[in-house]
Amino acid sequence: MFRTATSLAVLFLLVGISASAAPVLPGHALITNGDAILEYDMAGQLVQSIPIDPPNGSSVFGTDVAVDQSGRVHVMNFPQSFYAIHQAHLSTYDPAGGTWEHNTISGWSLAAVTYYGSIGIGKDYVFAPDQNVGGGSGSGIIRFPLNDLGAPERFSVGGRHAVEVGLNGYVYHLDRNGNLSYYHPDTMELIRSFGFGKVYHGASVTNVAVAANGYIYTTDLNGSVHYHDDNAELIKSVPGYGGDIEVTPDGSVILASDNDLVVADPSLTNFTSYDTIATGRNWIGSTTPVPEPSAFVLLAVGALGLGARAWRNRRR
């Protein structure tokens, strides 16, 4: 059963995830729901529930989910309970063999806030937030190499609660006050920072997603989704669709909002909502991996950012 707000304007393909060794299926999305990952098709039908394996035999609370180019599923995993502060793990599921592995770095911690824990994935790394709370030993961004998940690195760039890799290839780092910065994925050099506070009138910013052209989508605690250009200027706000957000490679916007799977077109004009069995605060992942950006795209976007910064400096 599904509820339709308006007709679906943009069709997109997602790579589905199977809990067995069966081939992956197109046209599916993944939603984390506490201790499980739910696979849905685009007709709103539950295909399967994949239990999240607990690190060290403890209970789990999974947050954001992402899929790499080889089809592995990665989820940020809080042993015991997300409502207390514990050592976090990156838990990785290989559908080819039906196996899990868990990796961490000493002192990895996040505050016990239900919308903290968004991760991002690019062609070479999984990126996750770190806040240095409850006895943690660092803050910033943790980067897990996809070819060696057991060798993570911590980059101390400030305590943020959400990390996302845009479809332009850059790593975005968000705090609850709406401060958004982005970095080169290989050098971790800061490219540019934005402030969204004036847009939200005091509401905490929860999640971010970035399209291939650098346009920015955010959600907030008031239950709204916002669309900005690549200079962070607000284009449009739509109430009633808060929660975690992703942009698929074809530009479609998907959300885990009020326990629904929501699909929208890039301009946030047409929305389709599907009932799910998810409860509480959920995260969504596009199961189509982030495409590998060309060096030219990275250089061009970086040059635009530096040019814009120089232009602003001249105006001061």
- How far apart, in Å, are the Cα atoms of 171 and each of 116, 127, 274? 17, 8, 30
- How far apart, in Å, are the Cα atoms of 100 and each of 106, 144, 246, 273? 20, 16, 24, 31
Q: What is the pLDDT of residue 198?
A: 53
Q: How far apart are the C-alpha atoms of 304 and 298, rounded to whole Å?
A: 10
Q: What is the pLDDT of residue 157?
A: 77
Domains and CATH numbers, the chain: 29-315 (2.120.10.80)
H helices of the chain, in order, are: 197-200, 295-315
What pLDDT tens digit does each residue of the chain (316 aa) get? Answer: 333 332 222 223 333 333 343 434 656 788 888 888 888 877 788 888 888 888 876 667 788 999 898 889 999 987 655 545 567 899 999 988 889 999 999 888 887 777 888 999 998 999 999 887 765 566 789 999 999 999 999 997 776 789 999 999 999 998 767 789 999 999 999 999 988 765 554 578 889 999 999 999 999 888 999 999 998 889 999 999 989 999 988 888 999 988 899 999 999 999 999 999 888 778 888 767 766 654 434 544 444 444 444 434 444 4
DSSP labels for 40-52? EETTS-EEEEEEP
Q: What is the pLDDT of residue 48?
A: 82
Q: What is the pLDDT of residue 190?
A: 93
Number of H helices, E strands in the chain: 2, 25
The first and second tokens of residue 92, run together, are 């990785």
DSSP labels for 29-97? EEEE-BSEEEEEETTS-EEEEEEPPPGGG--EEEEEEEE-TTS-EEEEEEES-TTS----EEEEEETTT
Question: Which run of H or E residues covers position 2?
Answer: strand 2-3
pTM (predicted TM-score) = 0.83
